[in-house]
Chains A and B, each alone.
Chain A
Amino acid sequence: MTKIGLEIHCQLTKLESKLFCSCKANYREFEPNHNICPVCMGLPGSLPRLNQKAVESATSIAMALSCKTPEKIAFFRKNYFYPDLPKNFQITQLNVYGDMSIGGEGYVDVEGAKIKIRRIQLEEDPGRLIYEGESERTKITLVDYNRAGTPLVEIVTDPDFENPRQVRVFLNILSDLLENLGVAEPGLEGAMRADGNVSIEGGNKVEIKNIGSFHDLEKALHFEITRQESLSERDIEIVQETRHWDDRRKITISSRSKEEDQDYRYFLENDIPWVKIDQETITSLQKNMPESISSKKERFVEKFDIAPQVADILASDKYYFDLFENAHSDSDAKDIANLITTDLMGFVDTKEKREKSKLTSQHLSDLIAAINDKTLTRTSSKTALQEIVKSGKSVKELLSEMDLGQVSDSSEIENIIMEVFEEEKQAVLDAKENPETVNYLVGKVMQKTKGKADPTKTLELIKSKLG
């Protein structure tokens, strides 16, 4: 049986400051090396100062993943030389003197399967290396330390996944959960990364690193499973090793560095005392934790009679959730939910589109109000939404400017019906014979009015004309 485990790294970009200094946690807006200070640059004489809220946010993540949280947390140094590490060690966590990392022994329910969370730890992100130059030989290595010290939560699962598809579902659940908690923005480039490990029946465990995106992770897992299976079929031993994902060739390659040369010499980071997390803190974090995705979903279904598939989308996508929660009243909740999931979704389905979008919750409630008092047809709402997303114009402005108002004036509709009857003689005859085909004529009228004709009134009028 195939077993897959994951190590997920997620930046706590919703924090203001880095893990051990007051530089900005979200480094993305800065010029290279302009979000650095003596602490995150590891200058001699500087000392780390742990961010209280980082500990709280990470603890919230642990609790949301049903983990046990310890009474005391400790930090360790992972020692290795690399140019993106200003101190040539990384401050991270480890469970050697008892369980003292942020959390552990949790689980996530993935389509009925229980994926166990082994450990969650809080650590600092290193800086970034940039390779510049034409060829391998002329390459220049540049370092930008803006990212160094960004708070990072590492989530380690047990090897409980049976296939890459399950991994994908899990990662979607996890991203939604982290976003819902308000601690991270998994959509930001590089804010959430994952490494995997794979073993097949009777084989050793192989770690895969250097994976750029979740999409690549799935590919890497597929590749690795196939590679191991083909070795196994030929009775070749699968060696325990770390392999790197080669993004260009889409294959995994054995890492050259020998495992035995990686001795991290973990030991306590004594510049940071052990931090006591008392029951009072846990209780207050629990109390202030945002409503969970499953509880939101349940509430939508029960309270507003929203269809479970629709409720699922609104509950798990924080963007839709915020729009919905701010737009609806008890009476129009179901309409707004359907408006979001049937008409809006196509316009705001990517991060870029969402950032550009001018749509607010107010637009949604105004649109539903307009539909309900018949100044706008349900079928025009999609056109209206498209325009709102683009321009941000108010519903009122749109109704007057864009001629989206519903046509319910009988004489106006009658004129159009006459035109249709003229053009569709055969259909008129058919409808007289068989009243069930009348919808074809209604459709034609709607087409001519670009959906603005009041459908109920149109049907009535056609029926009376047909006699």
Chain B
Amino acid sequence: MVDEGEIIRVAKLMKIDLEDHTEHVGRVKKMLEYFDILDQIDLSSEEIVSQEKALAELRKDEFVPNDKKLIESLKNFREHYVRAPKMN
């Protein structure tokens, strides 16, 4: 059984404000309960796999300046900096 308090705690970690969205918790819970089906399959011999690439195929180490002044199209503060909220 999934604990609702745990879902709310995770939401907070994911920076999701759940104050007005408590109905989400029930739905998330239903989905998690459906995922219990994963307990019924034997996966003991399985390994994690991924796409692979040779080292030589990777990007070459070259400095290419970004041709646009990207900062100008982003939120900027005194033209050069990005401003973050107050850190505690």
Direct A–B touching, Cβ under 8 Å:
yes
Residues of A within 8 A of B (CB): 15-17, 22-25, 31-34, 36-38, 41, 49-56, 72, 74, 81, 83, 97, 129-131, 139-145, 261, 263, 268, 270, 273-278, 281
Interface residue? B13 (CB, 8 A):
yes
At the interface, yes or no: B55 with Cβ under 8 Å from chain A? Answer: yes
Question: In the complex, what distance in Å separates the CA atom of A33 from the CA atom of B84?
Answer: 14
Separation in Å of the B15 CB from the closest CB of chain A? 6
Q: Does B21 contact A (CB under 8 A)?
A: no
Stretch binding the partner chain, chosen from B22-30, B31-39, B75-83 = B75-83
A143 close to B61 (CB less than 8 A)? no
Q: Once the chains are docked, how many angstroms separate the CA of A268 from the CA of B51?
A: 11
Contacting pair A52 B56 (CB below 8 A): yes
A275 to B54, CA, bound (A): 6
Q: Which residues of B contact A41 (CB under 8 A)?
A: 70, 74
Specify which of A16, A33, A72, A83 is in contact with B87 (CB 8 Å cutoff).
A83
Q: Which residue of chain B has its CB nearest to the CB of A48?
A: B59
B55's partner among A52, A139, A145 (CB-CB below 8 A) is A52
Known: A33-B81, A141-B85, A142-B81. A17 touches B70 (CB 8 A): no
Tell me, rounded to whole Å, the shortest Cβ–Cβ distance linking A83 to chain B: 4
Residues of B near A144 (CB, < 8 A) are 80-82
Q: A17: which of B64, B71, B82 is its contact (CB, 8 Å)? A: B64
Contacts A41-B74, A50-B58, A51-B58 given; indicate if A23 touches B84 (C-beta within 8 A).
Answer: no
A181 to B28, CA, bound (A): 52
In the complex, 12 of the A-B residue pairs with CB atoms within 8 angstroms, ordered by the A residue number, are A17-B59, A17-B61, A52-B61, A55-B58, A74-B50, A83-B87, A131-B87, A143-B83, A144-B82, A268-B48, A275-B53, A275-B55
Q: How many residues of B contact A (CB 8 A)?
A: 34
B52 lies within 8 A of A72 (CB): yes
Chain B residues near A (Cβ < 8 Å): 13, 15, 47-48, 50-56, 58-66, 69-71, 74, 76-77, 80-87
Assess whether B52 is in contact with A276, with CB atoms less than 8 Å apart: yes
Contacts of A139 in B (CB 8 A): 86
* CB-contact partner of A32 in B47, B53, B63, B80, under 8 A: B80
Beta-carbon contact of A141 and B87 below 8 Å: yes
Minimal Cβ-Cβ distance residue in A for B61: A53
Q: Flag if B62 contacts A22 (CB, 8 Å).
A: yes
- Distance in angstroms from B49 CB to nearest chain A CB is 9
Q: Evaluate contact between A33 and B76: CB separation under 8 angstroms.
A: yes
Q: Are A51 and B55 in contact (CB under 8 A)?
A: no
From B51, B55, B66, B87, contact of A55 by CB (8 A): B55
The one of A23, A131, A275 in contact with B63, judged by C-beta atoms closer than 8 angstroms, is A23
B50 touches A270 (CB 8 A): yes
Which residues of chain B are within 8 angstroms of A130 by Cβ–Cβ distance? 81
Which of these, A38, A142, A273, A281, contacts B53 with CB under 8 Å? Answer: A273
Please name 4 further chain A to chain B contacts, defined as beta carbons within 8 Å, in addition to the given A23-B65, A52-B59, sorted by A numbering: A33-B71, A143-B84, A144-B82, A275-B58
B54, closest chain A residue (CB): A276
Q: How far is the CB of A285 from chain B (nearest CB, A)?
A: 10
- The docked-state distance in angstroms from the alpha carbon of A110 to that of B82 is 44
Please state if B80 and A33 are interface contacts (CB–CB under 8 Å): yes
Cβ–Cβ contact B15 & A52, under 8 A? no
With the chains together, A131 CA to B66 CA distance in Å?
27
Beyond A52-B55, A276-B54, whether A140 also contacts B83 by CB under 8 A is: yes
Assess whether A17 is in contact with B84, with CB atoms less than 8 Å apart.
no
Give the top 5 A-B pairs by smallest Cβ distance, nearest first: A83-B84, A53-B61, A52-B58, A22-B64, A37-B66
Tell whether, in the assembled complex, residue A142 and residue B61 are in contact, meaning their CB atoms are under 8 Å apart. no
Chain B hits for A50, CB < 8 A: 58-59
**For the complex, what is the distance from the CA of A144 to the CA of B80, rounded to whole Å?**
8
A142-B84, A144-B81, A263-B13 known; A23-B52 Cβ under 8 A: no
